[in-house]
Amino acid sequence: MIEVRVPATSANMGPGFDCLGIAVNMYNRFFVEEIEEGLVFEGCEDKFKNEDNLIYVAMKKCFEKLGYKPTGLRIKIESDIPVCRGLGSSASCVVGGVVCANELAGRILNDQEILALAAEIEGHPDNVNPAFCGGMTASITEDDKVFYTNVKVKEGIKFCALVPDFTLSTEKARAVLPKNIDYKNGIFNVGRTALLISALNNGDFHLIKYACKDKLHEDYRAQLIENFYSVKDECERLNCLGVFLSGAGPTIMVMIREEDNEFCKNIQKFLDGLKNNWEAKELRIDSVGTVVNNPDQLNKCS
């Protein structure tokens, strides 16, 4: 049986809409084996035990590309990444499905081909790249090709994910975005995206609070998240380094200093007074990315 572990991811990181993402130490695990016949799911709700399951959809796409036809499949899922919360649950399923299928078929696809197929299925590369490669990545698509680079983040930073108990689909979160943007808002985000990458790379953490600001998506999506601004204001009052909407939301991601051991406890006290059962989860950067349980593990992102 093949085991594949894929980390959660947080995309956009404020101004880096659809291009920046970072992997964190929360994981989904997928166990897959070929069986004589049929399609068997374990570890997920009954409503996901069908051919519309995203892991199976990704596997099927990969099999079709490779011309491989399994006799049957058993798919077991151990999920720690909350669904539809802006932490890359769908990207983890897509990456996990493609990698599992590629393993079963004999490791035909290389790393670039895996990423390209995963980005095609997911629709954009900002989550799939860090999910596969680990760490922070900047990525774009051009002529149906994915181009990306890893961003080295200076030591001394960690995260606190503020996760409410309600979901928010990416489709709904995208539906509230404008069709066009003001020129000055584009300039605003371009500058802050460059500043954020440089600040994280150089360890200029005092600049993050300025670099995290956004004018392309957060204000539009905030209307879908009750208490968004009050939570954000409290994070800033507690001296976080920066705060931003994680992916399409509703999770709010906070960057804090490594030595700050009080932030998560203090913000949880504030969250306990709100609706929607918010939970503060302290996280760190996952620098490994997708892991396969075979001895001759994938040589990823070389």
pLDDT in tens, 62-83: 999 999 999 999 999 999 999 9
Q: Is 30 helix (H, G, I), strand (E, B) or coil?
A: strand
Tell me: is residue 11 an annotated ligand-binding position: no
Tell me: is residue 88 an annotated ligand-binding position: yes
Q: Say what the pLDDT of residue 156 is.
A: 97
Q: Say what the pLDDT of residue 48 is.
A: 81
- The CATH code of domain 157-283 reads 3.30.70.890
Q: Say what the pLDDT of residue 144 is.
A: 79
Tell me: is residue 87 an annotated ligand-binding position: yes
Pairing between β-strand 157-163 and β-strand 279-283 as defined by DSSP bridges: antiparallel
Task: Give the helix, strand, coil percentages of the chain, each rounded to 5.
Answer: 35, 25, 40
- Of 188, 199, 211, 4, the residue nearest 99 (C-alpha): 4
Give the global pTM. Answer: 0.93
On whether the CB atoms of residues 5 and 241 are closer than 8 A, the answer is no
Q: Is 281 helix (H, G, I), strand (E, B) or coil?
A: strand
Tell me: is residue 230 an annotated ligand-binding position: no
pLDDT in tens, 151-195: 999 999 999 999 999 999 888 999 999 999 999 999 999 999 999
Q: For residue 220, with 0-12 CB atoms within 10 Å meaning exposed, 13-18 middle and 19 or more buried, which class applies?
A: middle
On whether the CB atoms of residues 37 and 273 are closer than 8 A, the answer is no
Tell me: is residue 90 an annotated ligand-binding position: yes
Topology of 2-151+286-292 in CATH? Answer: Ribosomal Protein S5; domain 2 (3.30.230)
Domain ranges of the chain: 2-151+286-292, 157-283
Tell me: is residue 91 an annotated ligand-binding position: yes
Tell me: is residue 82 an annotated ligand-binding position: yes
